[in-house]
A and B are shown apart, each in its own frame.
Chain A
Amino acid sequence: MTGFGRMPRKEDARFVRGRGTFVDDVRLPGMLHSAVLRSPFAHARILSVDVSAAQAHPKVRAVLTCADLAARGLAWMPTLSQDRQAVLATDKVRFQGQEIAFVIAEDRYAARDALALIDVEYEPLDPVVDARTALDDGVPVIRDDLAGKRDNHIFDWEAGDAAATDAVFVAADVVVAQDMLYPRVHPAPLETCGIVADHEPVAGRLTVWVTSQAPHAHRTLLALVTGVAEHRIRVISPDVGGGFGNKVPIYPAYVCAVVGSMVTGAPVKWTEDRSENLMTSAFARDYHMRGELASTSDGRLLALRVRVLADHGAFNSTAQPSKYPAGFFHIVTGSYDLRAAHCAVTGVYTNKAPGGVAYACSFRIAEASFLVERLVDLLALELSADPAELRMRNLLRPEQFPYVCATGWEYDSGNYPKALQLALDTLGYQDFRAEQSRRRELGEYLGIGISFFTEAVGAGPRKHMDIAGFGMADGAELRVHPTGKAVLRISVQTQGQGHETTFAQIIAHELGIAPDDVEVVHGDTDQTPFGLGTYGSRSTPVSGAAASVAAQRVRDKARLIASAMLEVDPGDLEWTPGRWAVRGAAGAGVSLGEIALAAHGSVDLPDGLDGQLDGSCVYNPPNLTFPYGAYICVVEVDPGTGQVFVRRFVAVDDCGVRINPAIVEGQIHGGLADGVGMALMELVAFDTDGNCLGGSFMDYLVPTAVDCPSWELAELVTPSPHHPLGAKGVGECATVGSPAAVVNAVMDALRPFGVRHADMPLTPAAVWRAIQGRPLRADLAIE
């Protein structure tokens, strides 16, 4: 096989034998282990830190505190959102689990033992736990480390035309409005975060093996933070056990491990435990939203107005393009043709872990898509309209593409009504509505929920999109060796997406060789070109395009070499997969392998052409890609217990050309499970003292095989007009699109009980309380 299509993954051979190499699998001679002492309080002044007993432990080699880091100028580090974050706490702790000291010892267990020997004296302070009161007068100021800071305000940001939107609302027949919380959740990759830092003092070289979705960005940031020159830093991100955005930031313990290696002269490993992962590393969502949707009385959508209070935790460390403090939330108009829209977002500090952009959210499109799809269902309820018909009536039409939405995004391509119709047909929508009626008479509560989402992925045009100042273009370097075997070096980093296979297929497609003849090198900054890494579903839209263009350049160079070999004009050559042939001369031509050998040999090359056969590209995308889909979920709710059972889930996705359909479907399956998880069980809540209530897998529930139905997928293919392969991103589509379908289905099931809205997660308790008319507030353990 050459090129696109289903093929088994190249990386699977090692994984099924247990021979992957994850960061915690790395063992270096003389390597030390470490552990982090963390704050039990959400907000407290630190009066003293005494590490003398820990230092006296026979197996402890060093203990770092903020004083050690301050001596190197490292007590604080910059975040990815122009804020700063304490590496080890200096004056105060600002969230439960914040880093205070770092112990380096001879083994894992000794490092943990020594944590108990550290004596910290705290003066507890009132915590700010409820984002809705964070800006009130008289609440404690969390970030008093910032000069002149007198409140907990981070930013105000808006998009769209407020006046035009207000004007439409004033004149509209119907307005529905709803407050909704997209609660704090966590990506919870099964491999927690970790690092092995090895500083070699003679050459001044620093090598780190780290769980990284963005090795090059991490190298540059480590250079900026630690002062080690960038060209002496090598970041290796080996096999990564899931990322979902959790492995984009630089965490304090990474910096501590680097300093620890400098201090001890030995490699230092740090492996995060599960509670540390859930309680302190990049969370997601935590958006308190109010949405209003205006329409005509006969169901023509007119305008959308949204206000958001964004809880960013104790440090503003969200990882997203600098210009967009609310990410891409302003694609909140979704899949509909609206006259006007306006959204305004206010970000606040609270005494909670920092983060906010993670868990396959496509830079906050998860929140936006959920909001608009809930509002459309509420409008259907208000108008007594069928939610499928209401959507069908208002979806963008194929002839409207490219379509510029009211907040400025230019959607590239799609056939939305066809996708929705395919989903309805796949489910058997009308039959299901009939069954729902029949079953209600028996006291059984089926619900059907629809979600239609539009994603914007593949960030992005460097003129508009950068992270920490680095434009979001990515590189690819392709070399065809003398025997015709190719090596492709890419800047993005798989966390399970199967890049070793997909990218080999891209090269195979372009060059007409077998995917097995292409080796994909990634995850090592010494061996790959610069780029910003894998998140926001950007690998195929950006690096996939880079690989495609690099291969086209190889093909172009091969043509010139072939013309020299065949002594014909390049214009007389035509490409057939794997071969340049003389047009009209049957049999005359040379294969890519022959050309590769000649390129390294003694053929007299045309003037201006270097030898060898290689090509490279730094791809600066002209626009994002806009995959979309229509999802339908069927649930059954037990009103006695509040338990929700997901009976069926139909997902129609259009992500453009599919390079490896099996991998694409796998990405969608995973995202659908995420949606069930967020809609029904996943939650990081807090009590009024700021204690995290989601700090283990006993408290933070993620879906199992028995919580998930067998997913029913169908597809459309509308190529992206601006991507060289016609492909769009897909990794996050289902995570973004599916929660609204599940929640809409549960609300549909609960209609006989007069329930209009309940916030996620729809746990048995939350559903039961909604039925009783006493909805739970999900995010805080208060009434």
Chain B
Amino acid sequence: MRIMLTVNGKEYVRDVEPRVLLVHFLRDELGLTGTHWGCDTSNCGVCVVRLDGVPVKSCTVLAVMADGHDVHTVEGLANGAELDPVQEGFVACHGLQCGFCTPGMMMTARWLLDEHPDPSEEDIRTALSGQLCRCTGYENIVRAIQWAAAKESS
């Protein structure tokens, strides 16, 4: 099936099998390996990307469902050499250890701050509750997002 979609602002036209998952399309077809795969059941969230601005688990979206849509991945988060405040916050607050959940966490965090520039700790934890991290106990991820919110409001 032929699909046309925009990923990080760039248009792609590709022929794909209808069953190909968006996560595999991004990783194997476009070489955007910053989006990871971690489970088959939409539980872990390491595959989160934004589809028309909304965080989705790309292991539960078929590539053909993204036809005509706008996808954003971690590779598009920074503006050239300039990191997004969310990325800066993760570095400043030691918000990542192994780095495997990080792209998905940051994509959700970016969505949260776009929607709610001044989230409470509870808002942040709730926003992340569909994603797993096995390294950080979430503490510094929460702080990283608070750091980014503070930076953007200053």
A496 touches B132 (CB 8 A): no
With A495-B98, A704-B128 as contacts: A710 and B142 at CB distance below 8 Å: yes
B19 touches A109 (CB 8 A): yes
B124 touches A705 (CB 8 A): yes
With A12-B91, A13-B91, A18-B33 as contacts: A670 and B134 at CB distance below 8 Å: yes
Query: A195 at interface (Cβ–Cβ under 8 A)?
Result: no
A496 touches B99 (CB 8 A): yes
Query: B60 at interface (Cβ–Cβ under 8 A)?
Result: no
> Which residues on B sit within 8 Å (CB–CB) of A665?
94
A705 touches B138 (CB 8 A): yes
Query: A558 at interface (Cβ–Cβ under 8 A)?
Result: no
> Which residues on B sit within 8 Å (CB–CB) of A711?
137, 139
A697 touches B43 (CB 8 A): yes
A705 touches B135 (CB 8 A): no
Q: What 0/1 readout, one digit per residue, does chain B (87-125) give for beta carbons within 8 Å of chain A?
A: 100111010111111110010000000000000010011
A12 to B94, CA, bound (A): 9
> Which residues on B sit within 8 Å (CB–CB) of A497?
97
Query: A56 at interface (Cβ–Cβ under 8 A)?
Result: no
Could you say which of B20, B91, B103, B134 has the most chain A C-beta atoms within 10 Å of its C-beta? B134
A window 10-49: CB within 8 A of B: 11-22, 24-25, 27
A496 touches B87 (CB 8 A): no
A273 to B41, CA, bound (A): 11
B145 to chain A, nearest CB (A): 10
With A9-B91, A18-B33, A673-B137 as contacts: A273 and B40 at CB distance below 8 Å: yes
A697 to B130, CA, bound (A): 11
With A8-B92, A11-B99, A697-B43 as contacts: A16 and B106 at CB distance below 8 Å: yes
Which secondary structure dominates where chain B touches chain A?
A: loop
Could you say which of A20, A187, A711 has the most chain B C-beta atoms within 10 Å of its C-beta? A20
B55 to chain A, nearest CB (A): 14
Query: A242 at interface (Cβ–Cβ under 8 A)?
Result: yes
Query: B126 at interface (Cβ–Cβ under 8 A)?
Result: yes
A704 to B125, CA, bound (A): 8
Which secondary structure dominates where chain A touches chain B?
A: loop
A13 to B99, CA, bound (A): 10
A274 touches B40 (CB 8 A): yes
B38 touches A666 (CB 8 A): no
> Which residues on B sit within 8 Å (CB–CB) of A24?
27, 33, 36-37
> Which residues on A sit within 8 Å (CB–CB) of B100?
20, 22, 189-191, 241-242
A125 to chain B, nearest CB (A): 29
A708 to B36, CA, bound (A): 24
Query: B56 at interface (Cβ–Cβ under 8 A)?
Result: no
Q: What 0/1 readout, one digit per residue, does chain A (229-252) give for beta carbons within 8 Å of chain B?
A: 000000000011110100000000
A19 to B74, CA, bound (A): 9
B window 28-45: CB within 8 A of A: 28, 31-41, 43-44
B42 to chain A, nearest CB (A): 9
> Which residues on B sit within 8 Å (CB–CB) of A19?
34, 75
A12 touches B32 (CB 8 A): no
A666 touches B135 (CB 8 A): yes
A715 to chain B, nearest CB (A): 15
A16 touches B87 (CB 8 A): yes
Query: CB within 8 A of B20: which of A12, A109, A275?
Result: A109
> Which residues on A sit within 8 Å (CB–CB) of B43?
696-698
B45 to chain A, nearest CB (A): 9
A16 to B129, CA, bound (A): 20
A22 to B36, CA, bound (A): 9
A274 to B45, CA, bound (A): 13
Size category, A interface: 35 or more
With A18-B34, A191-B98, A239-B98 as contacts: A669 and B136 at CB distance below 8 Å: yes
> Which residues on A sit within 8 Å (CB–CB) of B13?
none
**A14 nearest CB neighbor, chain B only:** B99
A18 touches B96 (CB 8 A): no
> Which residues on A sit within 8 Å (CB–CB) of B142?
705, 710
A498 touches B97 (CB 8 A): yes
With A109-B19, A191-B98 as contacts: A669 and B38 at CB distance below 8 Å: no
A670 touches B99 (CB 8 A): no
B102 touches A16 (CB 8 A): yes
Query: CB within 8 A of A704: which of B41, B106, B132?
Result: B132
B44 touches A8 (CB 8 A): no
A680 to B80, CA, bound (A): 44
A669 to B96, CA, bound (A): 12
With A241-B98, A274-B41, A697-B132 as contacts: A706 and B126 at CB distance below 8 Å: yes
A109 to B25, CA, bound (A): 12
B122 to chain A, nearest CB (A): 8
Query: CB within 8 A of A697: which of B31, B35, B44, B97?
Result: B44
A274 to B46, CA, bound (A): 13
Query: A192 at interface (Cβ–Cβ under 8 A)?
Result: yes
B35 touches A18 (CB 8 A): yes
**A697 nearest CB neighbor, chain B only:** B43
> Which residues on B sit within 8 Å (CB–CB) of A25?
27, 33
> Which residues on A sit within 8 Å (CB–CB) of B141?
705
Query: B24 at interface (Cβ–Cβ under 8 A)?
Result: yes
Query: CB within 8 A of B140: which of A11, A192, A669?
Result: A669
> Which residues on B sit within 8 Å (CB–CB) of A20?
34, 99-100
B107 to chain A, nearest CB (A): 10
B window 71-91: CB within 8 A of A: 73-75, 77-78, 83, 87, 90-91
> Which residues on B sit within 8 Å (CB–CB) of A16?
74, 77, 83, 87, 90-91, 96, 102, 106
Interface pairs (17), CB distance under 8 Å: A9-B94, A12-B90, A16-B102, A18-B33, A18-B77, A20-B100, A108-B24, A108-B28, A190-B46, A273-B40, A274-B41, A496-B97, A496-B99, A666-B97, A670-B134, A705-B142, A706-B126
Q: Which 8 A-B pairs have the closest CB atoms?
A: A18-B34, A496-B98, A241-B100, A15-B99, A496-B97, A697-B43, A18-B74, A669-B137
Extra A-B contacts (7), CB below 8 Å, given A16-B90, A670-B134, A696-B39: A11-B99, A16-B96, A21-B33, A190-B36, A273-B40, A497-B97, A669-B140
